[in-house]
Amino acid sequence: GENVEQHPSTLSVQEGDSAVIKCTYSDSASNYFPWYKQELGKRPQLIIDIRSNVGEKKDQRIAVTLNKTAKHFSLHITETQPEDSAVYFCAAPNPRLGAGSYQLTFGKGTKLSVIP
């Protein structure tokens, strides 16, 4: 099955700085890469995703880049704010189940702390 590696496990940045979290995946057939933000005791919240036909996607302060050759994708948060503090997970679906089946393998998570 899919194997997703995520690093770093913790990340502290000063408010206003940028944060970058990186993930690698193992199955070259994977074609959808979501990023989730999870606050304590809450469900994961999709913040951005990218599909394999594009290399970069941006939504205001958040961007995701994808390198299919190297099988890695990254989350970029610019102008960080204290409310960005949370645990972030990357994920990849099982490509063998076909399009539209979001059976996900998650990375181990990154605890982001934004220091005011």
With respect to another protein, which residue has the nearer C-beta, 2 or 84? 2
Which one, of 2, 22, 27, 26, lies nearest residue 11 by Cα? 22
- Please report how close the Cβ of residue 16 comes to another protein at its closest, in angstroms: 27
- Please report how close the Cβ of residue 4 comes to another protein at its closest, in angstroms: 9
Q: Is the peptide bond before 95 cis (omega within 30 degrees of 0)?
A: no
Which one, of 11, 7, 37, lies nearest residue 107 by Cα? 7
With respect to another protein, which residue has the nearer C-beta, 46 or 79? 46
- Please report how close the Cβ of residue 99 comes to another protein at its closest, in angstroms: 10
DSSP 31: -
Task: Give me the count of residues in the chain.
Answer: 116
Which one, of 36, 26, 9, lies nearest residue 102 by Cα? 36
Tokens standing for residue 45: 């919240």
With respect to another protein, which residue has the nearer C-beta, 78 or 105? 105
- Please report how close the Cβ of residue 44 comes to another protein at its closest, in angstroms: 6
With respect to another protein, which residue has the nearer C-beta, 97 or 115? 97
Please report, as ranges, the residues that interact with another protein according to CB under 8 A: 34, 41-44, 46, 49, 89, 93, 100-109
